[in-house]
Chains A and B, each alone.
Chain A
Amino acid sequence: MSSTARSTRPPTGPRQLHPGAWWLWALGLGAAATRTTNPAILLLLVATAGYVVAARRGDAPWSRSYGAFLRLGLLVLGIRLVFAVLLGSPIPGTHVLFTLPEVPLPAWAQGVRIGGRVTAEGLLAALYDGLRLATLLICVGAANSLASPARLLRALPGALYEAGVAVVVAMTFAPNLVADVRRLRAARRLRGRTDKGIAAVLSVGLPVLEGALERSIALAAAMDTRGFGRTADVPRPLARATAALTLAGLLGVCLAAYGLLTAGGAGWALPVLLIGLAAAFAGLLLGSRRSVRTRYRPDPWALPEWLTAGSGAAVAGLTIHLSGSDPAAFAPTVVPPTVPVLPLAAVLTVLLGLVPAFAAPTPPRRAS
């Protein structure tokens, strides 16, 4: 094992944290967000994620994506509110803020309303709900800017490697396509045609697709000449077992995720999740035998990774526990509207999410 030990990056000094740790942490925060509609707790979660991003993001291009996710979250919140105003809300409320002219609808569209009374309770419920969704998005954005999805894919087990490459290649193609469209629209101008409007974009569709196809073929040839897709021979029963285990495992995980996110299934979901994960893991382990690949300088999983992933898990676990024991604080009533309270236990729980801001190593920065 000495060779493996030498080939991992040394776990000291400035380095990138293992991408898996960042994603576990972010998912933990996100899971906590799904268990509450209390805006104070949600905003505290957003602030926690934002602080960690500010403290530990690197200077790579993807690190700037946090701002984009923040804006996306606000957009989602805005859309949720606009819909609540226009389409009304099922929440019965008594505090009418204003009344929009109502569009008369035929009898068969009963239950659907356009316009009409807008109540404070309805708006408040929409606000809480939108905020929850926005927080979830912002947690994903935090993970995205702290560890690029490409780096996460590199850490996948060998059996998933080829799927990972497909995703990475697709991600690098998107910017290329945009550049192609821009270049070909400019070329339209050189032919004396207008480069504005939808028609101009559509007319370059075919050449852009041709270009993309040519590029993929060139890349496929290059990857082939560099040994991509070399495989080791494995016995047929082993290959079948791999497929069965992986499929069963993934199904189990999906079922359990559904159970965990809905209110009723908390009892059976956890064991199913564990069994599913175990099956999927075994499948991946078996599948890796087919691959002859080795990995160059894999990221180590050391104490900072444990602390980061652990803090995410703690936030999620404690929030789920607290929301069960004190539902009033985690889901403040909107009918009648109440001022949301912020229990000390919840604050402390969410603040656990700040651990990586101190435990994670600083990312290496380029002198510029």
Chain B
Amino acid sequence: MITFEQVSVRYADSAAPALSGVDLTVPEGELCLLVGPSGSGKSTLLGTVSGLVPHFTGGVLHGRVTVGGRDTREHRPRELADLVGTVGQDPLAQFVTDTVEDELAYGMESLGLPGDVMRRRVEETLDLLGLADLRDRSLNSLSGGQQQRVAIGSVLTVHPRVLVLDEPTSALDPGAAEEVLAVLQRLVHDLGTTVLLAEHRLERVVQYADQVLLLTPGAAPVLGEPAEVMAHSPVHPPVVGLGRLAGWRPLPLSVRDARRKAAPLRASLDGRVPAAASAPDGAPIAVSDRLAVRRGPVQALRGVDLALHPGEITALMGRNGAGKSTLLGGLVGLHAPASGSVTVGGRTPHRTRPAELIRQVGLVPQDPRDLLYGESVAAECASADADAKAAPGTCRALVERLLPGIADDTHPRDLSEGQRLTLALAVVLTARPPLLLLDEPTRGLDYAAKARLVEILRALAAEGHAVLLATHDVELAAELAHRTVILAEGEIVADGPTAEVVVSSPTFAPQVAKVLAPGPWLTVGQVAEALGAEALGV
């Protein structure tokens, strides 16, 4: 269906090619998953299939990409529109109309399909994706998962034979991600659509893949059976990590497969518990007392009681729109309480001057770019020092400590996602706030950057910072958090040690917990440690 012949892509302003030596064929009706670290050229590869590379992005394409027999170099994206459907990370960025039904029809209108065909296909697609109840709704009023399903539906109505998706679930909570992946699964099975999918969160998707294409910078791409590729992929989900550790063959990719093989492991771990993280105790740094916040017509928080202690990492989870960001905003004084109170370091955040408040609490927003205005890393650091009235060089030293090797003269927008997050973190830490808040920090991060973030946050907690992170990433919470708080509809529905809160939850349990339930194990690291200790003991 899709063939790549000696494809390489080089953008004008970069020295190394973004993609090189791709020579492979994706057969019809397969779900092919693209994996690889940031910067390995996943988005570029997807772009060559939809024709956006090189027609839209510029750059030089060598070799040949053909989709259904059409050369994407000779056909502009609009001429491939009946063959390739493209869905990006942010559905709102690709909507052209304002209601669900019109959006589904838009692509067909562009292609000039007759009215009765459009009518029939819209109805079929509404049923296929379970959107029938939402047909007249305005697109802005939908939840994230619903929006992403509409985005997929809007490209499906033209009956493309290839669907290209760039991180379709990375902005979604675990439940909404399941929704979207179930739809993709159905398309591959029932309609024979060829799906090309790039995703960082492998734990969500790898079990659905027929083929995995591994891209590594500087090495030739590898296409193969998921289990084979995962066996030596540098990026892999926890269930694969556990399988590698336990030496299972063939490597399980889903929780279900792993559970079948895990009986001996469960038995050998029986009676043991992971090394308990010392529950830090001390006077709380921040306290909210029956905090209620309204945002426009929406009651975003209703009576939230929360105390944050020094040295403790707390994960804040819940669906999109449950009030996580509002709670973080309330703690830094962006939203005034409608009732109840919030105090941080003895002050009321929304009444405290910003210059004073940053010494008590720092927030890294969902998009770290919001925090960065400078022309270069050096300028950004200098202005952070000035804002925090810290000694010159403080911020730069922090950057160097957190992630060595960021050049002074790089523009913040040119940094990778992980580097940008680290720079924003350093900017916030310059004022030495005892309370650190992070909103969705792992969005767009690959496993290496995530591991680095875990180390940094652990070190900060060990120094006595209290850390609160809002996240959809259950694996991150399991790895990092001492305590997990789950919000729903603006209320706290669960609050306790991470192991207790997440193990029993079908949506928030990490893969290792699902495989080894009812044992209290959350991460591959804990299991490895326990097994290692046993090996030493024997």
Contacts and interface: CB of A to CB of B under 8 A. Distances in A.
A and B part of one assembly? yes
Contact of A6 (B51, B106, B115, B333): B115
Nearest to A217: B56
Contact of B387 (A191, A225, A297): A191
Contacts of B413: 210
B195 interface: no
A340 to B, nearest CB: 43
A294 interface: yes
Given A195-B354, A296-B108, A222 B96 contact: yes
A190 B155 contact: no
A92 interface: no
B348 to A, nearest CB: 14
A7 B114 contact: yes
B118 interface: yes
Interface string A194-236: 1100000001001100100001001111111111111000000
A110 interface: no
Given A187-B365, A225-B80, A165 B332 contact: no
B358 A7 contact: no
Contact of A293 (B50, B51, B101, B109): B109
Given A221-B52, A292-B112, A215 B384 contact: no
B159 to A, nearest CB: 13
Contacts of B122: 296
A4 interface: yes
Nearest to B359: A192
Q: Could you say which of A168, A229, A294 has the most chain B C-beta atoms within 10 Å of its C-beta?
A: A294
A60 interface: yes
Contact of A294 (B102, B118, B427): B118
Given A3-B116, A218-B94, A292-B112, A190 B81 contact: no
Contact of B138 (A60, A210, A225, A227): A60
B114 A222 contact: no
B371 interface: yes
B52 A225 contact: yes
B385 to A, nearest CB: 11
Nearest to B79: A230
Interface residues of B, number: 68
A296 B101 CA distance: 9
A226 B373 CA distance: 34
A364 B136 contact: yes
Given A222-B94, A225-B77, A294 B155 contact: no
Contacts, number: 165
B363 interface: yes
Given A192-B387, A296-B102, A226 B81 contact: yes
Given A294-B118, A296-B115, A225 B333 contact: no
B370 A183 contact: yes
Q: Could you say which of A150, A215, A225, A364 has the most chain B C-beta atoms within 10 Å of its C-beta?
A: A225
A186 B80 CA distance: 42
B119 A292 contact: no
A224 B98 CA distance: 18
Interface in A169-191: 169, 172, 183-184, 186-191
A192 B349 CA distance: 12
Given A225-B52, A296-B105, A193 B355 contact: yes
Interface string A284-320: 0000000011111110000000000000000000000
Interface stretch (B82-90, B184-192, B210-218, B441-449): B82-90
29 contacts: A8-B115, A60-B138, A165-B96, A183-B370, A187-B365, A189-B332, A189-B334, A190-B332, A192-B357, A192-B387, A194-B353, A194-B355, A203-B373, A207-B373, A218-B88, A219-B94, A224-B77, A225-B80, A225-B85, A226-B81, A228-B96, A229-B78, A230-B79, A296-B102, A296-B119, A296-B122, A297-B118, A364-B136, A366-B137
Given A187-B365, A293-B110, 13 more contacts: A7-B118, A187-B370, A189-B333, A192-B357, A194-B353, A218-B94, A225-B85, A227-B111, A293-B109, A294-B115, A295-B115, A296-B109, A366-B136
